[in-house]
Amino acid sequence: MDKPVIMTVDDDPGVSRSVARDLRRRYGHSYRIVRADTAAQGIEAVREMRLRGDDVAAILADYRMPQMNGVEFLEQAMDLYPYARRVLLTAYADTDAAIQAINVVDLDHYLLKPWDPPEEKFYPVLDAQLDAWQRTDRRTTGELRVVGARWSARSYEVRDFLARNHVPYRWLLEDDPEGEQLLAAAGTDALGTDAVGTDTPGPDALGTDAAPAALPLVVTAEGAVLTAPATAELAAAVGLSTAPATDFYDLIVIGGGPGGLGAAVYGASEGLRTVLVEQHASGGQAGQSSRIENYLGFPDGVSGSQLADRARRQALKFGAELLTARTVTSLEVRGRARVVGFADGGSIAAHTVILATGVSYRRLAAPGLEDFIGAGVYYGAALTEAPDCRDSEVYVVGAANSAGQGAVHLAGYASRVHMIVRSDGLEKSMSHYLIEQIARIPNIVVHTGTQVVGAAGGDHLERLTLKGPEGERTVETERLFAFIGAEPFTDWLGDTVERDARGFILTGPDLTVAENRPRNWPLRREPYHLETNVPGVFAAGDVRADSIKRVASAVGEGAMAVALVHRYLEKA
């Protein structure tokens, strides 16, 4: 087995070499010593080690580094290596910061510089930390494996669901040797059809007799087999919570995007019995972003997935329940209770509800595209597909921030990224920093005044027809990523909640513009700022009419909605 890693990060070359020298002298026979001279270099090294599957035993980071101090560095590193022991290197003047870091990043120790002689002041500390790391139970629950077809829409959906819910898995093609062995052991016909959402039960363990079933095949760490699992079945199998603990709450939050996660964190932290219901995965559209660089407090940027995972863990820490793979189909008023119904016939009730269902990307209307969804045509970043874009040309449709972030991420893999922009430029819809970033990346080409008008292929996308200033032309490509428009997920509300002509939820003052009082409003007071026409039902984030489509504003509205929930409960 490869040696576990001890990593040191310090922007002072002299100190950096000294730390690495002392570490190699004492621990080089059992550990691999990795040195980084900047925080950015260190983060990149940590990511590469995570991708390779290296084990990191300890990370030593200097406190005073430009761009990103040691505490910020350790905070990012712990997301990738939560079991690594974290040590901050500080000067005497920085001891207060080191003590504060104990709460921020669960710091294990801080070392004052200089530490001569290392035999007395350095090695005993590291010996204790490495001993603690060795004694920590770092066993994973095992390896989840997914066997499927390369251009299978359902296989893509399963992989995307697992990735967005931070469930590690290994992807195997049906004709890989190991994939074939798993299919044979499970009694599954590799040529089975690719059914979407089939509930065909699989055997309990490999090696038992089973009738042929459809791909994808999912084999859990415990050996249980799922054939073409429905999303709820898959969620339960990998340990995601799908059933509520009770039938009545103080607050139900519907939607796990930034607005919903913000509401869940603030609601639970302020003592409300809170449950968040999410159909797919926490993070929403923002959770699919490869890099968010204008969110407050993250000067070096943060991936949407990482931000969503931190918020999810924060909500759980405060006691919120998070239900995944549950589809909400109705909202009813029953006296003082607000009842939320599910597609499977179940329901839960609460004193209050916050609607934070967000928006979905609008489908492209070009002929042929619908046939290749999940098989070369993807709505959103589809981060699971990015590594397979290596050395190929891909197309990105859209001109807003999400499209720009997707293009920048894909440019790290693809030989060329073509941005298809219907308007005459990016300035009207994209942040200035992102426009400048795209201009600096040589393998991103922006085609303005252009749109996709057709698609063709066999079992997957192979060609696109583009219409631009020079007329129509056909291009060869296997992948198109679309980031256009925003459609709110509100049809399920029926006539219960007032919406505008596009389906966005009306709240507060917007409800009283056309008439003196909202429809069916029973109270003497006016609706609160984020309150709908149903008392005790609020809206936050992108689903709300005329909201600001930014992550920070969605989080802020989620927090504000909780404050208004308290006001409602006090006066109800």
Residue 413's identity, in one-letter code, is Y
pLDDT at 565: 97
**pTM: predicted TM-score of the whole model, two decimal places:** 0.72
Q: Which two tokens stand for residue 369?
A: 């595209």
pLDDT in tens, 331-351: 999 999 999 999 999 999 999
Decide if 405 contacts 286 (C-beta within 8 A): no
Residue ranges of the chain with pLDDT lower than 50? 1, 188-213
304-317 vs 258-269: helix crossing angle, rounded to 10 = 20
Task: Give ∠ CA 467-396-363 in degrees, rounded to 5.
Answer: 80
Q: Is 23 helix (H, G, I), strand (E, B) or coil?
A: helix
What is the per-residue pLDDT for 513? 65
CA 296/CA 435 separation, integer angstroms: 19
Quick one: DSSP state of residue 271? T
CB 545 within 8 A of CB 507: yes
Single-letter code of the amino acid located at 207? G
pLDDT at 516: 63
What is the chain's alpha carbon radius of gyration, rounded to the nearest angstrom? 26
Report whether 322 contacts 278 (CB < 8 A): yes
What pLDDT does residue 314 have? Answer: 93
Task: Return phi, psi of residue 178, to 5°.
Answer: -70, -35
How many Cβ atoms are within 10 Å of 514's Cβ, its own excluded?
9
Look at residues 496, 501, 491 and name the one whose alpha carbon lies nearest to residue 545: 501
Residues paired with 445 in a beta bridge: 418
Q: What domains can be seen in the chain, in order of their start residue?
A: 5-135 (3.40.50.2300), 145-237 (3.40.30), 248-360+487-571 (3.50.50.60), 369-482 (3.50.50.60)
For helices 551-571 and 258-269, angle between their N-to-C axes, nearest 10 degrees: 40
Cβ 348 vs Cβ 252: under 8 Å: yes
DSSP state of 505: B
Q: Where in 187-320 does DSSP place strands (E)?
A: 217-219, 225-227, 248-254, 274-278
Percent of the chain as helix, strand, coil, to the nearest 5: 35, 25, 45
Q: What is the rounded CA–CA span in Å between residue 339 and residue 249?
A: 10
The DSSP code sequence of 455-475 is EEESSSEEEEEEEETTEEEEE
How far from the centroid of its chain's Cα atoms is residue 234's Cα? 18
**Neighbouring C-beta atoms of residue 48, cutoff 10 Å:** 11
Q: Is the C-alpha dihedral spanning 153, 158, 164, 170 positive or negative?
A: negative
